[in-house]
Structure 1
Amino acid sequence: MRKPRRGAVILLIVCLFFLPSCEAIDNDFSIWDKLFNPVWDGDFSSLNYKATYPENNVTSGGNMEAWLDIVGWFNMSRINGTDYIYGDPANQSITEYNAIDTLGWNDNMDWIKHELLYDVVNDTLIVQDNITMLWHHSEEKTTSEGHTYIQKTYYYSYLTVYDSEIIPKQYVYDGQNIEALITFYNNSINPKSVIFIPDKLGLYSIDYTYKNESVHEDLMTGYVENNSKGIEFVNFTYNSGWSDPGGNLSHIGVCAVVKGGNFTPDNLSIDIYTPYEQLNITNYNLSTCNLFKGERSMHILLFPILLIIFSPFLLIYFIYKRAGR
C-alpha cells in the first residue's frame, strides 16, 4: 500500500484550515469561533474597550488637524445576529478623538480642549466635537533703552468635527412579571414537584435553589469577539445545559425537579439572568396532580418499561394475524 505523500497531507491541512466556516446552531457562529474566541466570564467590564484600529479621517482648519471616530459600544451583545446595547446610546458609545496644531515655527500651542455633544436622530447617534485651541505668536521686540524681549500675542482657534453610527437595538427583557409553573405530583411512590418556566427566550441562565440545594441551568453561551476596530463584544448562541444536580434538587428535560413530598414555595428561590441583569421570580402558579396516588397504584415510569417488555409479543401477534389472512 502506497503511503500518502507529505505534500498532499500538508495541502489537505491547509485546505481544511481555509475552508468556509461550518454553520453551528446560531447562524452567526462557526466552529472556528468556538475554537479561537474565549468564553465570556459574565463580566462586561473585563472586555477591551480601547480601539486598535480607529478610523482617523482627518479634518483641517483653524491651525489644527483633528479626527473623531465612534469605535464601538460598551457592553454590546450579539444574539442571533442582532446587536444590542443596554442603556443610553450616548453613554454606551465609545468615542476616540485627537487634535494637533499646525502652527508655524514661531507660534506655540498652549492648550487644546474638546467639547463632545451627542444627538440621536432616528436610529443614528451623531457625535460633534467642538475643539478650541489657545495659542500665541512670539515676536522679538526692542525697548527704547535697547533691551530685547519676546512679545506674546494670544489667539483662539476653533474647529468642529463630526462622526455618526447606527445605534444597536436596545436590549429589553419582557419577562419581569413572568411566572413559574409548579406542579406537585402527589404520588406516594415517588412524589416530586416539577418547576417549569414557559418563556426563556432572551435569558442567559437560571438558578433554582430549594433550601440548601441548588441547580444551575445554562441557556446561552457567550463568546468574546472583536469588531473591525478592536473593541470587544459578546456573541451569544443558544446552548442549553444543566449543572450536575445533587440531593433532592435535580432536573428533567427543561424543568427543575424537587424530589420528595412536603414541598413549600417559601423554601424556593428562582433567579433568572439576562446578559445584563438579575431578576428574581416571585410569581408561582401552583397545581397538584393526584394521578397514581396510593400504595397499590401503578407508577407512571412503569409504562415505558411494560411497553418494552410486551413489544415482542405484540409483534408476534400482528405477524400471526397477517399470516392468517
Structure 2
Amino acid sequence: MPGTAQNIEDTLRSVRDDLNAALGRIDPAVFDFRRFPFSFMGKAARARFTILAGDALLLGRDRSARLASAAELTHTASLLHDDCIDRALYRRGLPTLNEKLGVNTAILVGDLIVSLALDFAASASQDLVQELVLAIRHMTEGALLEENAKGRKISAAEADRIVELKTGALFRWCALAACRLAGRPELLETCGRIGKDAGTAFQMIDDVLDFEGDAGACGKETLKDIKEGKFTLPLILALNDAAAGPKAEKLLSRMKTGPEADLSAAVELAGLVSSGGFSAQARRKASEKIKELFPLIDRLPGTEGAAALKTFLLTLGERTA
C-alpha cells in the first residue's frame, strides 16, 4: 500500500540500506566501497520525488523504493562523471573519488554504478530498463550541450533545453516508471510532464544557488558555474538586462583575460546577479513552473499523495541549499 508523508523517512532509510548493500556487494578486487566510500543520495530529491509520485499514483512503497534506488544510483553515477569533468576536489564535504583515486577509476566506477541502476530498474520491471537507458542518453546529451556551450553566451531557450535534458530527463523517468508500475497508462503523458518540469525547476534552483548559496549547506562549491564558463538562467537574465548587461559583459571579459587565480571578477559578477534581482527572478520562474504542475498533479488518483507531492515540490522551489 502507498505510505504517508509522515513515514517517507522510513522508506528513504530502506532505499539507503539497499544502495549500501548493492555497493557493498561489488567485488573488493574490482572496487572496495568500504575502503573508499563516497557520498550518495545527498538531499535524496529524486528518491523523495519518486516515492511521493508513487503515493499519488497509489503505488506500493516497496515498488516505488526500487525505482527510487535506480534513480539515485543513476544520479550518483552522473555526479561521479561530473566531478571528473569539473576536476572537483570535494562533493558534500568529502574528497571526490577522482581526487582520491584518479579520473580513470572514478569514470569506471560511475559506469559500474549505471549497471547497478539498470539492475534495480529491471528488478521492478524489465519494461522500465529501456526507458531508463533513454533517460541516461538524454542526460548525457544535456551534459554535452552544456560542455559545448561553455564560454559562449546562449539564449534562455538553449539553457532551458540543457536543463530539461540534463536534469529533467531522470525526474521524468521516475514519474513515468511509477505510472507504469501503478498500471495507469492513461496518465503517462501527465506524469511525464510532471517529472520533466519538476526536474527542470529543481535544476533552475540549483543554478540560482551557485550565485547565492552557501558552499557548506549546498554540499558543493559555489560560483562553480561562473568560473567554468556556464551560462545559466540567472546570468542570462542579467546579460539581457539593459542596465546590468554591459557591466556583466565587462566582468565576463575580465574573467577570461585575467589571472586564473583572481576570483574577484567572479565574485563581483555573482554580486551583480544577486543584487540586481536576477537570481530572484530565476527562482520565481522555477516556482511558477512548479505551480503550473498542480492541476496535473490533481489528476492523480491518490489525494493524500498528490497533496504531499505538491508540498514537496514547493519546498524545492524555496530551498536555499
Q: The TM-score by the shorter chain falls in which range? A: under 0.3
Looking at CA atoms only, which structure, 1 or 2, has the larger radius of gyration?
1
With a CA cutoff of 8 Å and minimum separation of 6, indicate the structure with the bigger relative contact order.
Answer: 2
TM-score scaled to structure 2, two decimals? 0.21
Higher strand share: 1
TM-score scaled to structure 1, two decimals? 0.21
Higher helix share: 2
